[in-house]
Amino acid sequence: MAAPVLSTSLVVVSSVITACLAVFYLSSGFTTCHLVSLSALAVCVFVFCRYLRWRSAGPSEERVCVVVLGDIGRSPRMQYHALSLSKHGYQVDFVGFLGTKPHNDVLNEDKIKITAIADVKGVQGGPRAVSYVTKVIVQSFQILFTLMKTKRPSHILLQNPPGLPSMAVCWLLCVLRGGRLMVDWHNYGFTILALTHPHTHPLVRLAKWYERVFGPLAAHHLCVTNAMKEDLEEKWGIRATTLYDKPPSIFRETPLELRHQLFLRLAQTLPPFRTRGEEPGARELTAFTCRDPVDLTVTWRTRRPALLISSTSWTEDEDFSVLLKALEEYERCIREGHGLPALVCVITGKGPQKQYYRTLIDGLHLEHVEICTPWLEAEDYPTLLGSADLGVCLHRSSSGLDLPMKVVDMFGCCLPVCAIHYNCLSELVKHEENGLVFRDSQELASQLQSLLSGFPRAGGRLEEFRRSLQTSRGQRWDDNWTQTVLPLITMTTPSP
């Protein structure tokens, strides 16, 4: 590696360490001596990694490292990347947290090797900034040593956010080992931090500076919308390729027999799926379906409830009080005799605010609306989406520039959707064409009443939207990925 490149690399890496420690100093009175010592340590690590460049041997063209500083099982887009790479003959090192089970296709693919990293904690107690900065420092070394143990890849494909500190570390390793960094921009990390901190907070400012400095250093960039593509180029000079989320083939309408089997399994732990009353001559009963005891065929129950589904990570960018208020209004309309069906509402997912909303749900007094909040296995989630009658999306992008993957999956299952409005949502949801867009709980309540009026009678608006989705199915993930991402990798693979 040429001396100027080495010098530039050293300056940039030292700047990151210094910036992180500066925040630490401002919040805790960190001494100059500590600052100099840790900066020297960073230089030592850099020199050691430089040695790795000469140690790296063997061809790298057929190996890609996929990195997500989060739960692999809850990172579907990165799982799809890994599967697409493996289908095209690449060996994949998949690095991330193992909190929830990844999809079976990922676990069973011989070309994909999962390397788990721990979700480390910073210094506990004292200012929040101290905990955050120390966590960043520890994670930097954790990611560095984890990736050093993997075989030399031609590319590192990194999810952002979270990109701090993984973006700098991955870029550094690409410099040292001769690979190329590709960043997949799902959103901006600093806008997510701004959900819980003022925009002027040192952590938000640090995160924004970090993305602005290290983002442009990547060799290739992917993003999820054209709006983000334009924003990246306008503000940070980054030229990205838009890779829209597309549903993989596992997201499709579920046959009635499979729906019945899923409902039976869910009924074992979720009361809303259990039978209500009797069905003449039926053998197996759920709240929605029944099996004929003679020919064993499965049919819908005569007066079944409608099945509404929403999925969430239970974070600040989704306000589920909007849905809860709409369901209360829906309950009121049923009691007033508006001819609406009973409703089972399933909200899937894990996240920090789940218990808060569970408390709100438990405090509701609903007779005709039942709500449950299960965590579904990766194989059951698409089956349930393909079994539902209506989907609701409450995702509000922190940047206004990303799109909800949950809606992509719902459309793959030909499931009509009501989605809350924000900038660039129109790149996915076309109001009155493939779904409905609402702005508040009152508007959502009106849409639920309009779509479910007369349910399950054929010929309503719900069926019209479903037929529209059935006739306008677009590309699936594999074809889209092959056309968009594969050329970027095959045409720019560095020499060993």
Rounded to whole angstroms, the Cα distance separating 9 from 31 reads 26
pLDDT: which is higher, 83 or 313: 83
pLDDT above 70 coverage of the chain, percent: 84
Q: Which residues pair with 94 in a beta bridge?
A: 66, 114
Domains and CATH numbers, the chain: 60-246+480-490 (3.40.50.2000), 256-473 (3.40.50.2000)
Q: Mean per-residue pLDDT for 37-52?
A: 53
CA distance 118 to 395: 28
Residue 395's pLDDT is: 92
pLDDT higher than threshold 70 for residue 152: yes
Question: Does the pLDDT value for residue 19 go beyond 90?
Answer: no
Question: If you average pLDDT over residues 465-482, what whole number do you get?
Answer: 87
Mean pLDDT confidence for 131-159: 89
pTM: 0.80
User: 162-171, 271-280, 291-300, 323-332: which range is least confident on average?
Assistant: 271-280
149/122 Cα distance (integer angstroms) = 24
Confidence category of residue 132, pLDDT binned at 50, 70, 90: confident
Contact 84, 477 (CB under 8 A): yes
- In this predicted structure, what is the pLDDT of residue 117? 92
Distance of alpha carbon 146 from the chain centroid: 23
Dihedral Cα 407, 411, 75, 490, nearest 10 deg: -120
Q: What's the rounded Cα separation, in Å, for the pair 453 and 334?
A: 10
Residue whose token pair is 């140690």: 55
Can you say how many angstroms the Cα of residue 18 is from the centroid of all Cα atoms in its chain?
31
**For the sheet containing 435-438, what is the strand order?**
369-372, 343-348, 306-311, 390-393, 417-420, 435-438
Encode pLDDT of 163-173 as tens digits. 889 999 999 99
Q: Would you say residue 11 has pLDDT above 50?
A: no
Query: pLDDT value at position 343?
Result: 97
Mean pLDDT of the 428-444 span: 93
pLDDT digits (tens, 9 = 90+) for 304-351: 999 999 999 888 889 999 999 999 999 999 999 988 999 999 999 888
pLDDT digits 0-9 by tens, 88-130: 999 999 999 998 889 999 999 999 999 999 888 777 776 776 7
Would you state the structure tokens that stand for residue 19, as one six-digit string?
């910036």
Give pLDDT, residue 36: 46
Mean of the per-residue pLDDT values for the chain? 85
Most confident of 36-40, 176-180, 229-233: 229-233
Section 202-229 average pLDDT:
93
The per-residue pLDDT for 434 is: 84
Asked whether 371 and 347 are in contact (CB, 8 A), the reply is yes
Strands of 91-179 (E only): list them.
91-97, 112-116, 155-160
**Rounded mean pLDDT, 61-86:** 93
State the pLDDT at residue 213. Answer: 94
- What mean pLDDT do residues 256-279 have? 89
pLDDT above 50: residue 451: yes
Q: Report, as an integer, the average pLDDT of 270-275.
A: 92
Is residue 180's pLDDT more than 70? yes
Rounded CA-CA distance 431/407 in Å is 13
Q: Between vectors from CA 248 to CA 245 and to CA 253, what angle results, nearest 5°?
A: 115
CA nearest to 408, candidates 324, 475, 467, 464: 475
